């Protein structure tokens, strides 16, 4: 996305709101255009850290899932958490 254009559109009220989780530069540097928007007047802006859903148990659970799926793959069983491209997710 064009982050500066998004900030301008919000500041000029051409759009009501936006949510951003990923930026061209991670983390966004000080002075980033979206940081300049006043929270009191731009309550439609949500900026979250790219790892906003991170849990302390994430690495262990991810490793467990990988091990389970590897065992399933080797056994010819269905894998867990597959993306269903036909369903759109």
Read off the pLDDT of residues 35-86 as tens digits, 9 standing for 90 and up: 877 666 666 788 776 666 677 888 899 999 999 999 999 999 999 998 877 8
Kindly state whether residues 43 and 56 are assigned to the same domain.
no
Q: Is residue 88 part of a domain?
A: no
Do you know the residue count of the chain? 89
Q: Indicate the pTM of the whole model.
A: 0.52
Kindly state whether residues 33 and 56 are assigned to the same domain.
no
Kindly state whether residues 39 and 63 are assigned to the same domain.
no
Please spell the DSSP secondary structure of 42-75, one letter per residue. -TTEEE--TTTT--TTHHHHHHHHHHHHHHHHHH
Kindly state whether residues 61 and 32 are assigned to the same domain.
no
Domain membership of residue 63 as a residue range: 52-82
User: What is the separation, in whole angstroms, between the first and last Cα of the chain?
Assistant: 22
Q: Is residue 87 part of a domain?
A: no
Kindly state whether residues 58 and 30 are assigned to the same domain.
no
């Amino acid at each position: 996305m064009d982050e500066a254009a998004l900030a301008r559109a919000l500041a000029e009220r051409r759009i009501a709101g936006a949510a951003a989780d990923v930026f061209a530069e991670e983390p966004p540097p000080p002075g980033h255009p979206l940081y300049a928007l006043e929270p009191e007047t731009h309550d439609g802006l949500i900026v979250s850290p790219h790892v906003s859903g991170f849990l302390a148990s994430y690495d262990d659970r991810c490793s467990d899932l990988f091990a389970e799926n590897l065992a399933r793959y080797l056994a010819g069983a269905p894998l867990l958490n597959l993306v269903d491209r036909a369903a759109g997710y």
